Amino acid sequence: MISAVDTNILLDILIPGQTFCDGSKRLLDNHISRGRLIICEVVFAELASAFPTGQELEAFLADTGIEIVRSGRNALFFAGARWAEYAKKDAKSRFSCGKCGHSFEIACPNCSEMFTKRLQVMADFLIGAHALLHADCILSRDPGVYKTWFPDLRLIGPQSLSSA
């Protein structure tokens, strides 16, 4: 089994005192025992914020057995196409829940002006497309974008260890 790993799972174990550290560590341990753990270039870049040098990041990946797998043109195109679909559909400036993906609007309680939001960043779409094309599942605590825009992607979080 090949499991793609989202940045939030790795940062849970790298940043001291994180609430989800134990669950994320168990999830990683469970999936490394079942096969390979992979990340894409975006996750690698996001992880760089937690390391003072590239050599230390590379050592962490080697120690944990996590491999970087290049996205490739198909995954990059797929991510861009999904993001474009999202941007067009979300043009009404609706907000969406990061947990379940439900969309809703919010108005100012003072003047009733509708709030606007910035579009979801491309990074989540790149991570999702990479996982869908290169792995059997993605390990993440952030299901909103993946459930909504990558419904064929098997999503596994720390809370679902019993069903992983």
pLDDT tens sequence across 115-136: 666 556 889 999 999 999 999 9
Q: Closest Cα partner for 143 from 162, 158, 163, 161?
A: 158
Degrees, nearest 5: CA angle 32-33-36: 40
What is d(CA 159, CA 3) in angstroms, rounded to the nearest whole number?
16
**Which carries the bigger pLDDT value, residue 121 or residue 36?**
36
> What average pLDDT is seen over the chain?
87
Degrees, nearest 5: CA angle 71-127-54: 75
What is the reported pLDDT for 16? 86
What is the reported pLDDT for 102? 75
List the CATH code of the domain at 2-155: 3.40.50.1010
* Residue spans of alpha helices (H) in the chain: 7-14, 21-32, 41-47, 54-64, 72-89, 122-134, 143-149
Whether residue 103 has pLDDT greater than 50: yes
What's the predicted TM-score (pTM) here?
A: 0.80
Q: For the chain, give every domain's residue range.
A: 2-155
pLDDT tens sequence across 75-101: 999 999 999 988 887 655 567 676 777
What is d(CA 3, CA 38) in angstroms, rounded to the nearest whole number?
6
User: Element (H or E) spanning 96, and its range?
Assistant: strand 95-96
DSSP summary character for residue 30 = H
Beta-carbon contacts of 108 under 8 Å, excluding residues fewer than 6 positions away, are: 114, 115
